[in-house]
Amino acid sequence: MQNVEEINKNIENKTVDKQVWQSLGFDELQTIEIIRGIENGVDVSVYCKEEFNAAQMKALRLGLEEKLDVSRFADAQYDYMEELKQAVRSGMNMDDICNPKFSHSVMREIRLASELNYDLTRYAKLGYSGEVLRQIRLAKKEDIEKTVLMPGDPLRAKYIAENFLENVKLVNTVRNMLAYTGTYKGKKVTVFSSGMGMPSMGIYCYELFKFYDVEKIIRIGSCGSYNEDLNLFDTILVDKSYTEGNFAYEWNENNCHIAESNKELNEKIEATAKENNINCIKGNTLCNDCFDGYLPDIPAFINRFPKDLDIIACEMEAFALFYIANHLGKQASCLLTVVDSYYKNQESSSEEREKSLNDMIVLALESI
C-alpha cells in the first residue's frame, strides 16, 4: 500500500528525484511519467496513483499537456487510454467509447468511424471484434448506391456482379455478406446479399436505408409455388407479403401480418417487363420462418392463409423488407423465380435454372 500522504507531499514539492518516487512504490517507467508531468507543469495528482500503469500515465500526462479534460477516462479500468485521449481531442461523446469491455482495436474503430460521422457503438455492444468493425467502417456511404438489388445468396451477388455489371468494386465482406457496386448500362447500382430469413433481411435493409441513404431495394430471389397455374421458372412480382410470424410485433405493432411493396416501384418494374417481353406475374406471397418442404402437413398449412389474399407462392424475406421500407419511408419491391411447386412435379436442367434467374436479374436491372 503506497503512502498517499508522502506522494501528495512530493507532488506539492514538485520532486524530480527518481529515487524518491521509486521508494514510494513506482517503477522506473511510472517514475519517468511522473517527473515529466512535474517538469511540464501539469497536475500529476490526476495520475500519480499506483493503479495506473506507465502507458496509462503517459496518455493522461499528454492529455493534460494538451489541456484536454481527461477526467472522463482517468480510470485504471481503461487499458487503452491513448484511444480515449484521441476521442476527447476529436470531441466525441465519451459515453459511446468509454466501456472497459471494449478492446483497443474496438475503441480505435469506433473513434475512426466517428470522424466519418458513423456510429459503430451499436455493433461494438453486440460483441463484434475490431476487425469486423473495421470492415464495416471501410464500407463507406459513397460506396453504396441509392438503388440496391438484394439477393439472399452472397454467391448470387457475386454472379450478378461478374456477369451483368461493369466497373465492379467489392464494397462489403462483413460476415461474408458480399456486396458489389458497379454500373449497368451506365447506371450505378449496388448488389448486396441479405442472407436467409426475415431477421437477416431486417438487419441489412434497415442499415442500408437508415445509415447508407439507400432509397430503393429490389429483392431478387427464389420461391415455391402454391398456385396450380404457375410453372417452374415463372417470374413473380410481389404485391403484398403475408406472414404468420412476429416480425412487426417486435416493432410494437401487435397485429400486423401484411406488408405491401411500393406501388411506384412495382409499376416501373411492370412497365419494364412489358418493354422487354418478360412475362411477370403479380401476386401476393407468404413470408415464412421455416422451409415449408419440411412441414408434416402442407395442405393444412396452406389452408390457414387468409383466403382473400390468394397467396400464390412462398419465400422467406419480403415481409421484413417491405415492413422496414414502409417504416422508414423508402421504396421496396420483390421479384421471385419459381424453383419448385407444391402442385407440379417438374424437373429442370441447370441451363434452364440459370436462364430463368437471368430473366429476373435483367428485369430488376432494367428497372433501376
Choose the catalytic residue: 289, 292, 340, 359. 340
**Residue 213 annotated among the catalytic residues of the structure:** no
Alpha-carbon span 334 to 269, nearest angstrom: 10
Which H/E stretch holds residue 104?
Answer: helix 104-114
What value does the CA radius of gyration of the chain take, rounded to a whole number of Å? 29
Cell triple for 160:
450478378
Cell triple for 107:
475503441
| Contact status, residue 226 vs residue 312, Cβ threshold 8 Å | yes
Cell triple for 258:
401484411
Query: Which of 341, 119, 309 lies closest to 227, judged by CA?
Result: 341
Query: Which of 256, 269, 237 lies closest to 320, judged by CA?
Result: 256
| Contact status, residue 34 vs residue 9, Cβ threshold 8 Å | no
Alpha-carbon span 206 to 86, nearest angstrom: 31
Residues annotated as catalytic (active site), given as ranges: 340
